[in-house]
Amino acid sequence: MCFTRGSSADYDSWAKAGCAGWSWTELLPFFLKTENCKCPKLVGSEFHNTGGPLTITHRGTQLSDAFVDAGVELGFKRVDVNSGNIIGFGDFPMTIDEDGLRSSVARAYIHPAMERSNLTVLCNATVTKINIEDKKVVGVSFRTKKGDKFVKVNKEAIVSGGSINSPQILMLSGIGPKKHLQQFGIDCIADLPVGKNLQDHMSVQVKVSVKEGSEVNTGENFPSGTNGVEGTAFFKTGLEEPDNDAPDMQIHFTGEFYPFGPDAPDILVYKDPKYFPLMSFDTTREERMRKEGIVLYSTFLHPKSIGSVKLRSKDPFDPPIVDPNYLENPYDVKALIQGIRLAKKITETKAMAPFECKINCLKMPDSTHDEWSDENLEEVVRHYAWTLYHPSGTCKMGAAEDKTAVVDPQLRVLGIQGLRVVDASIMPKVTSGNTNAPCIMIGEKAADMIKNDRQ
């Protein structure tokens, strides 16, 4: 539900690398087309629009306002985080409407079109193969509770399974690395680097207690109309190339302490109780639900650690092997440490002083290092970093001569007629920020290209 487009430099770098038509200036109209902006501070801006299908709102508090003021106190600009030039601190819009309901793409795009005669929506249907003859898509096989089905393709098929399932579908259909497909007896129709270039955003929580009675959300009073993320900051760590104008770090300001704990096993990857105190997981769920506090999420935006998606078998119901390769490159760890240090500075500003912020202890158990040393914080990162679920890049877009590309700038699978991929997997590099808004823009851009191709 977080709504941030990323940096203009992200898209300009795509265009510079051979993705014609994907610069910030060329994409801004598609971002605007999606929006029905209801944020009072943004309405009327050249970077925002009303009347689009996707409602954007913002719910701030005294604490989130103080967070932005803290950034200004530290020398950063106050910014509209969707203006393209995003280095600084600002409010964080969300795809939640005025009634407190999530403005999802289902509600914004699909539900209003359900009565169209040219649209059929099938649930609980799994694509098993894209059928290709003479390098041209002729149909799609899928399975429902009623058995195996086949639909003929007269013009083209569009794969939008996301950065995990899209590469799986392509590889099962004979599109992918030849040697890998041969391992499963799959005939290679197009030898392309499908499944490579997997990128994701890793984040570390800095949990902060605040003065009792502060205007924050708890598990007991969490209001409708917010996802809890009320402010954000984008900045440069100084570790990246100086000529790169995009930020490489983001901090999400969350106006709640988050009640996750050992009773949420799908979230925790560590089970040893000695690790619980650092995240306040040593308290009961009831105590965590009542806890007044905030969380500052330190998030590295441009990972050097690149993963992959591979087939586990030729069975479409067998989940693929996902190797995110998180934190393999020490650079990523250094950057996350920089984010943690900025989070600490934010809590120490005059703007945040009225709330008596106190960071939850970050001292690793059994560590002999000082709490705020690089050595201790590296252990914190390696033990507590988790994904923000922004997998991208596994069907990379690029110029026709780009040997690392899977689709061209029109999102057509290279060497195959009548097949496009439209989702986060086409990103050459993951955007600077949450991927919700960029994915919707990609859909709008693809729709426009498809309509123009058929005129």
C-alpha span between 105 and 374 (Å, rounded):
42
Of 203, 172, 168, the C-alpha closest to 423 is 168
Residue 361, φ and ψ in degrees, nearest 5: -50, 130
C-alpha span between 67 and 440 (Å, rounded):
28
Residues 6+ apart with CB under 8 A from 75: none
Q: Select which of 48, 58, 252, 390 is catalytic.
A: 390
Residue 150, φ and ψ in degrees, nearest 5: -145, 135
Strand partners, 229: 254
Rg, the chain, Cα only: 23
Task: Go through 206-224 and write b for each residue having 16 or more CB atoms within 10 A of its CB, e for each that does not.
Answer: bbbbbeeebebbbbeeeee
Angle, alpha carbons 18-193-186 (nearest 5°):
145
**Residue 302 bears catalytic tag:** no
SS3 state of residue 143: strand
SS3 state of residue 377: helix
Q: 314 exposed, middle or buried (CB, 10 Å; 0-12, 13-18, 19+)?
A: middle
Of 288, 309, 380, 311, the C-alpha closest to 340 is 380
Structure token pair of residue 215: 């205007």
Task: Go through 257-276 and write b for each residue having 16 or more CB atoms within 10 A of its CB, e for each that does not.
Answer: bbbbbeeeeeebeeeeeebb
Number of neighbours of residue 401 by Cβ within 10 angstroms = 8
Number of neighbours of residue 72 by Cβ within 10 angstroms = 14
Structure token pair of residue 61: 């508090």
Q: At what angle do helices 330-347 and 62-73 cross, to 10 degrees?
A: 110
C-alpha span between 19 and 10 (Å, rounded):
12
Question: Which residues are designated catalytic?
Answer: 390
